[in-house]
Amino acid sequence: MANKKSYEFNKSIAGLNAVDLKSRIAEDQLRLKKLEFAHAISPLENPMSIRELRRDVARLKTELKKKELGA
């Protein structure tokens, strides 16, 4: 099931340009910091959401790097 989610995510970000990817990365990194801070204060109901968001940021950065290299 996780592979299907990542496939759909990759498919959805493939059409974004570099500016959109950068803004999405900044937005998701801010969300990640807030989640990690909230989790440090009191445990989250679903701590796996931190891992998923971190991986989504990595996927966004990978797609941005591909666009910058012209691939």
Angle between helices 2-13 and 48-69 (to 10 degrees): 40
Quick one: average pLDDT of 13-40? 94
Quickly list H helices, 1-71.
2-13, 18-41, 48-69
Per-residue pLDDT of 13-23, as tens digits, reads 888 899 999 99
pLDDT bracket for residue 3 (50, 70, 90): confident
Q: 0.75 cut: is pTM over it?
A: yes
